[in-house]
Amino acid sequence: MENAARAELPVVVIGAGPVGLAAAAHLVERGLDVVVLESGDQAGDAVAQWGHVHLFSPWRYNVDGSARELLTRTGWADPEADELPTGAEFIANYLRRSPRLPRSRLDCGRTPACWPLLAMVRT
């Protein structure tokens, strides 16, 4: 494939877990088109399996810098830095944070409703 044609293609990130979403945020920050593919029903599907358990690291270590930058533009505020969220809180307050956006570039497989922060920088 020619380089020019390849440049038109989005970067595909497989898995809308904390790492995949952080990777996507970094790619967006660099001006690249990204599609996140998620086999579960929503972002953070693996974390949801232990939603009742507290993380062992506080919020300050759980939020990716690029993701913070993008989410803050939607009015999102950093959770209390020293608090230990449960998996469910980690999902609700971060991984599935859903600002009202006109469109989403994320393709989450069965449920196109995962983290929409990528849309923001493209609209």
Ligand X SMILES: Cc1cc2nc3c(=O)[nH]c(=O)nc-3n(C[C@H](O)[C@H](O)[C@H](O)COP(=O)(O)OP(=O)(O)OC[C@H]3O[C@@H](n4cnc5c(N)ncnc54)[C@H](O)[C@@H]3O)c2cc1C
Q: Is 57 among the residues that bind ligand X (CB under 6 A)?
A: yes
| Contacts of 75 by beta carbon, 8 Å cutoff, 6+ apart | 99
- 18 vs 116, beta carbon nearer ligand X: 18
- 7 vs 110, beta carbon nearer ligand X: 110
- 17-56 mask for ligand X (x: CB under 6 A)? xxxx----------------xxxx----xxx--x--x-xx
Whether 50 contacts 96, CB under 8 Å: no
Question: In degrees to the nearest 10, what's the CA dihedral of 65, 94, 120, 10?
Answer: 70
Q: Is 117 among the residues that bind ligand X (CB under 6 A)?
A: no
